[in-house]
Amino acid sequence: MDKTTALKVLSKHYNAPYEGTFTSATSGDLIHDIMWEGEMGNTYHRWGKFIVEDSNVIPLAQHYV
């Protein structure tokens, strides 16, 4: 499975449109920075209220197929 197909599978599973990616970075907000501690620099994909770390997109989609 390729990433494009995996993103479509997860959109269908979450019943939400794919909203793109973001990379976690320090924000200066203490709560945000504590919440994302150890995850800084990782890329995430978003579907509404659901987020998935980039390396988990394909395995998770394969689980839902």
pLDDT tens by residue, the chain, 65 residues? 999 999 999 999 999 999 999 988 777 888 878 887 877 888 999 999 999 999 999 999 999 99
> With contact defined as beta carbons under 8 Å apart, do 22 and 46 qualify?
yes
* Number of domains observed in the structure of the chain: 1
pLDDT of residue 2: 97
pLDDT of residue 36: 75
Q: In which domain, by residue range, is 8 found?
A: 3-64
45: exposed, middle or buried (Cβ count in 10 Å: 0-12, 13-18, 19+): buried
User: Of 15, 37, 16, which Cα lies nearest the Cα of 27?
Assistant: 37
pLDDT of residue 21: 96
